[in-house]
Amino acid sequence: MKVVRNLFKLLPVTLTMFAIATPAAAGDAAAGKAIYDGKGACGTCHGATGAGDGAAAAALNPKPASFVTAAFRLDTDGDGQAGTDADLANVMKNGGGKYGGNAAMPGRADFSDAEISDLVVYIRSLKQ
């Protein structure tokens, strides 16, 4: 019994270690939405709900990504996986053209890392 009790005592420690070891996106979805709808004007191309159907989308090829299907295609860091948090952040910071994608996707080097993280979390929240 003592062993079991000791295990329970260790549980919070283990959980805390796991939380620290897992670099969960630290952004804030509400703040991300404010940027998306506001100064980012992301909806112009990606659509108000993120479905990739903004007013400017028809004229663009490749089309603006749909955050609803979340079928991301740009692998910005060559790790063999498209659409990781790092990929989304890189595209938002540096634009699509830098990674062989549509250069119409504007780079927002003027956004802080915190703002980019907020956008990543918000974009992820749009997936259905």
CB of 117 to ligand HEC, least distance (A): 11
Subset of residues 16 to 55 that bind ligand HEC, contact rule: CB under 6 A: 40-42, 44-46
CA distance 34 to 122: 9
Closer residue to ligand HEC (CB): 105 or 121: 105
CA distances from 72 to 7, 39, 67, 86, 110 (A): 42, 23, 8, 12, 23
**Core vs surface per residue 108-127: b (16+ CB within 10 A) or e:** beebeeebbbbbbbbbbebe
Q: How far apart are the first and last CA of the chain?
A: 46
Q: Does 94 bind ligand HEC (CB under 6 A)?
A: no
Q: Does 126 bind ligand HEC (CB under 6 A)?
A: no
Q: Does 106 bind ligand HEC (CB under 6 A)?
A: yes
Total residues contacting ligand HEC by CB under 6 A comes to 28
In 3D space, the residue among 71, 67, 63 whose CA is nearest the CA of residue 49 turns out to be 67
Subset of residues 53 to 82 that bind ligand HEC, contact rule: CB under 6 A: 56, 60, 62, 64-65, 72-74, 82
Binding site for ligand HEC (CB under 6 A): 40-42, 44-46, 56, 60, 62, 64-65, 72-74, 82-83, 87-88, 91-92, 96, 101-102, 104-106, 108, 119
